[in-house]
Amino acid sequence: MATRSGVGKGSISELENGRRTARLDTLFALTKALGAPLSAAVGVSPPADGPSVHGQAVHAVSLSGWQTDDGYVEVYRITVETTTQHSPAHATGVRETITVVAGTLEAGPLGDPQIAAAGETMCFPGNVPHVYRAVNGPAEAVLTMHYPPGITTPVAQ
């Protein structure tokens, strides 16, 4: 393990015996050597289903939301069908970032959508009318909504 990961034997022993806390780069090296995702080392489990919303083509499950110095951020797990969904413009300054995790997705401003396949990310202004559509079968993605300062969650934090 030490040879494959590049982490010293002594460090691995200290980690195994709880005498040392691993740094992120150490965990990445160890999980890479094991052929496992980082979550195997840190115990991350999929979040429980949060509130969900449905559109003509998009099913979105809320994963998280929080306030930052740059505004409010919301994260959703989305499933998109091959039907085209038209989404109205959001507030001025809203941006959407979509990372496709399965399938191929077309999304973006009406008349200028982008196409992304699994492992690819797209970003576009959400303050203009935009579309979502899966290409050749359903697609799954993570949608991050970036709201500018002054827009906060309607739910008390």
More confidently predicted of 156 and 118: 118
The predicted model gives 18-38 an average pLDDT of 76
pTM: 0.76
Helix (H, G, I), strand (E, B), or coil: what is residue 34?
A: helix
CATH number of 52-147: 2.60.120.10
Helix (H, G, I), strand (E, B), or coil: what is residue 4?
A: helix
More confidently predicted of 152 and 142: 142
Where are the domains positioned within the chain?
2-42, 52-147
Angle at 117 between CA 105 and CA 102, to 5 degrees: 80
Q: Given this model, what pLDDT does residue 118 score?
A: 98
Helix (H, G, I), strand (E, B), or coil: what is residue 136?
A: strand
Q: Given this model, what pLDDT does residue 156 score?
A: 39
**Integer Cα distance of 15 and 37 in angstroms:** 18
The pLDDT of residue 29 is above 80 = no
The predicted model gives 73-80 an average pLDDT of 95
The pLDDT of residue 109 is above 50 = yes
Q: Given this model, what pLDDT does residue 152 score?
A: 66
The pLDDT of residue 151 is above 90 = no
Lowest mean pLDDT across 22-31, 50-59, 127-136, 141-150: 22-31
Q: Given this model, what pLDDT does residue 150 score?
A: 82
